[in-house]
Amino acid sequence: MSFIEIEQVSYRYPAQGGAAENEKEEEKGRLALDDVSLSVEAGEFVAILGTNGSGKSTLAKQMNALLLPDQGHVRVGGMDTQETEDLWKIREQVGMVFQNPDNQLIAASVEDDVAFGPENLGVEPAEIRRRVHEALEAVQMTHFRTAAPHLLSGGQKQRVAIAGALAMRTKGLILDEATAMLDPQGRTEVMDCVRRIHEEQGITILYITHFMEEAALADRVFVMHDGKLVLQGKPREIFARGQELKRLGLDVPFAAELGARLRQEGLAIPKGILTKEELAAECAKLYVDRAARKGGNAENGDCF
């Protein structure tokens, strides 16, 4: 059984002030999800892409029962979000980290903030201390345990927010544009943290992002457009469809874009390039091959 199952889910946001039955369709509220079906296996790292208004954040909120479907079913760990008695169990299983970390940090110290969730669940104090210690170690924030959260950098704040979810013993973690407000260093800190806990703890990751290089690190990619799931597959499969992604208002990783342009210039760069390291390796092969054909030495720059 999949960890998360989305079955023919549709969801419409309520119209401002309510909607009469005879109002036009657009006046009844925006259709944010339109017959979406997908599944996420336990331990997967899934990226969700889409332009603003595509439905990706609405989909994420369905996965931990912050929103409930108008039609269809959402099941998490076999529990249906339509079953009221299971809602808190579902929310315990799937934590969520939002775009602005300041909206999630509420305590006077880092360790108190991480402890907030388990305390509300009635966990014993000794167990809370153990969970807080383990969670801060997992995100490499132990040295900041007594610091005031508002004094931390953006990347550090997001790592504390992740630690708060880990302390809840969550089995899945949704990050909704969690690096959008961060500088490059902060984005690297958060991405490294997410990859590390995924590899070491096997937590299911659902990663919503506008940064294609981040999505390229996922096991699978889902692409949303106008409330529909329009593409899904492995990153190499998805980003090989660069023109289609651009028609959807999306981009591709820089290395994939540059590789495509080099192919247009006649260079034998294979499709499916995703990272700068892969592109550099392929360019190096071409450099050495050209030197060999010319009878020169690539180390001495004799290939041109």
Cα–Cα distance measured from residue 213 to residue 275, given in angstroms and rounded to the nearest whole number? 7
Local structure of 139: helix, strand or coil: coil
pLDDT at 300 over 70: no
Split at pLDDT 50, 70, 90, the class of 293 is confident
Assess whether pLDDT exceeds 60 at residue 19. no
What 8-state DSSP symbol labels residue 169?
T
Measured CA to CA, the distance from residue 78 to residue 155 in angstroms comes to 34
Beta strands in the chain (DSSP E): 4-12, 31-40, 45-49, 71-76, 79-80, 94-97, 172-176, 204-208, 220-225, 228-233
pLDDT average, residue stretch 128-152: 95
In this structure, of 73-87, 138-152, 226-240, 268-282, the range with the lowest mean pLDDT score is 268-282
Q: Distance between CA 292 and CA 61 in Å, rounded?
A: 56
CB 82 within 8 A of CB 73: yes
Per-residue pLDDT, averaged over 161-168, amounts to: 93
What count of residues does the chain have?
A: 304
Q: Average pLDDT, stretch 27-51? A: 92
Mean pLDDT for the stretch of residues 166-190? 93
Per-residue pLDDT at 260: 86
- Residues whose CB is less than 8 angstroms from the CB of residue 172 and which lie 6 or more positions away in sequence, other chains included: 3, 4, 40, 63, 64, 76, 93, 94, 95, 203, 204, 205, 206
